[in-house]
Amino acid sequence: MISAPSKPQSEFIALMAMLMSMVALSIDAMLPALQQIGHSLGVDDPNQTQLIVGSVFLGLAFGQMFYGPLSDAIGRKPAIFIGVGIFLVGAFISGTAQTFDMMLLGRILQGAGAASCRVVTLAMIRDRFSGPNMARVMSLIMLMFILVPAIAPSVGQGILFIAEWRAIFWVLFGFGLIGSVWLALRQPETLAIENRVPLSVNNIISGIKQTLGHPTASRYTLAGGIMFGAFVGYLSSSQQIIQIQYDTGPWFALLFGLLALGVGLSSFANSRLVMRFSLEKLCIAALSLILFSSSSMMITLLVLGHDPSLLSTMVFLISVFCAFGILFGNFNALAVHPLGHIAGMANSVISTVQTLISVLIGSAIGQSYDGSILPLTIGFFFCSLLTLFIVLNAQKYRQPAATTP
């Protein structure tokens, strides 16, 4: 451990929550502006604006593999500074973009840079805390982190009331700059020099092989990627569905925030449920809920011949998102559980593979949007059905599993 005195725990928690929220803020604050960005940059197909969301995940996927080993080698703070620097370059490129291609390049860089905050902050928390103390700190950070997806669209919408869409990127730029300065001035390095591990291509390749070759880890990695893909499909098309299709205007930010809050609250509830039920049972129950909800909505769409009311759609989405909140953390915990000896590398591999899978599936769902919620509903149905099959199949390779994520 680093011998330098640590700053107050409350400040550390606030700083970590701020850095971790950079990814969600970069995605969700942009949603109310997608239509304006498309018009400004000459995008003819409204579905193409979804790439502004998907490109961030693409950058995130590759960045997550990079920063874990890098922070083990050069320290936590330098790794975050490199990542935030890349994020700032991306925000600048997107904020000044005159073509859609330049916009997407900037967004990819934003995702690649923000990945450092997502990966390395967890390592910093592990450096400082363990056992019950770490669980307590993570719970407090997650409580703060839950609020970001709920309020980010409102932040973006508020900016649009007083400025054009480019201002959102300058706010993101300032957010990243403030976080890096705060980290530089107030937070000591948490990884001692004697505990650093040199970068090794062989170690990285070995970690990839062990993670993807393990029968349980590989299946839960695939399961998490598929279901996160369904969620990315929603994120990509949410503005078109809620704001344009249902003509909610500026109310979109509030409605999106309510749905995001459902995911966050169910994630928090999951932290209590795992003390009473196994992770596998919770995943099966959550997948069954999505299957039931999506199949019911498909039947409703066939009977009505048109989309249901906004209220019915919101109830449907809330039921699905409550299940998502249970699945995401549990799938990661189940995937990394048998790989405790390489947990850091395994987390990087699992996150990277899941994000790549989710980008492919989410893009397919989003691009199939045709002015109704049917493509999204079908995506939820088949993703949950396939994932349930994978989870049940994984039971054949079951080892004694952790009861908490």
| CATH number for 33 | 1.20.1250.20
Write out the two tokens for 356: 């790549």
Same domain (yes/no): 130, 107? yes
Q: How many CB atoms lie within 10 A of CB 195?
A: 12
| 88 found inside a domain | yes
The two tokens of residue 248 are 């909610």
90-118: pLDDT as tens digits: 999 999 999 999 999 999 999 999 999 98
Domain contains 141: yes
What is the pTM assigned to this prediction?
A: 0.84
pLDDT at res. 372: 92
Q: Which residue has the higher pLDDT, 384 or 270?
A: 384
Nearest to 217 by CA among 337, 367, 313, 53: 337
Residues 131 and 212 in one domain: no
Q: Quick one: which H or E segment has residue 131?
A: helix 131-162
Percent of the chain with pLDDT over 90: 55
Q: Which comes out higher in pLDDT, residue 64 or 379? A: 379
Q: How high is the pLDDT of residue 1? A: 40
Quote the percentage of the chain above a pLDDT of 70: 91
> 361-385: per-residue pLDDT in tens?
999 999 999 999 999 999 999 999 9
53 and 163 share one domain: yes
Considering the domain architecture, whether residues 253 and 348 belong to the same structural domain is answered as yes
392, part of any domain: yes
CB 271 within 8 A of CB 139: yes
pLDDT at 128 over 90: no
In this structure, are 156 and 179 located in the same domain? yes
Judged on CB neighbours under 10 Å (0-12, 13-18, 19+), 292 is middle
Mean pLDDT within 52-61: 93
Residue 44 inside a domain? The answer is yes
Please tell me whether residues 195 and 238 are part of one structural domain.
Answer: no
Find which of 45-59, 114-128, 318-332, 341-355 is predicted with most confidence, using mean pLDDT: 45-59
Report whether pLDDT(146) > 80. no
Contact indicator for 192, 1 with CB cutoff of 8 Å: yes
Written as six digits, the tokens of 284 are 């099966």
- State how far the Cα of 316 lies from the Cα of 285, in Å rounded to an integer: 17
pLDDT at 142: 66
Do 141 and 160 belong together in one domain?
Answer: yes
Q: What average pLDDT does this structure show over 39-63?
A: 92
**Residues 250-267 pLDDT 10s:** 899 999 998 888 888 887
Of 183, 199, 215, the one marking the end of a domain is 199
Are residues 348 and 241 part of one domain?
A: yes
Residues 192 and 232 in one domain: no
pLDDT of residue 266: 85
- Please give the residue range of the domain that contains residue 179: 1-199
Domain annotation covers residue 404: no
Structure tokens at 236: 């990509």
Among candidate residues 168, 199, 230, the one where a domain is terminated: 199
**Predicted pLDDT at 134:** 67
In a domain, 48, yes or no: yes
Given 138, 171, 199, the domain boundary residue is 199
Using the Cα atoms of residue 168, residue 174, residue 177 and residue 181 in order, give the sign of their dihedral. Answer: negative
Residue 309 buriedness (CB in 10 A; 0-12 / 13-18 / 19+): exposed
Confidence of residue 197 (pLDDT cuts 50, 70, 90): confident
Q: Is 372 helix (H, G, I), strand (E, B) or coil?
A: coil
Tell me if 405 is assigned to some domain: no
Question: Is 216 in the same domain as 319?
Answer: yes
pLDDT tens per residue, range 201-213: 887 888 788 888 9
How many domains, in total, are found in the chain? 2
Residues 188 and 322 in one domain: no
Q: Which residue has the tokens 């009311």?
A: 309
Is there a domain that residue 150 lies in? yes
- Rounded CA-CA distance 325/320 in Å is 9
In the predicted structure, residue 404 carries a pLDDT above the cut 50? no
Q: In this predicted model, which residue has the larger pLDDT, 270 or 189?
A: 189
Mean pLDDT, the chain, as a whole number? 87
Say if residue 39's pLDDT is above 70: yes
Question: Where is pLDDT greater, at 147 or 222?
Answer: 222
How many residues does the structure list for the chain? 405
Categorize the per-residue pLDDT at 398 as very low, low, confident or very high, splitting at 50, 70 and 90: low
- Whether residue 5 is predicted with pLDDT greater than 80 in this model: the reply is no
Residue 92 sits in the same domain as residue 113: yes
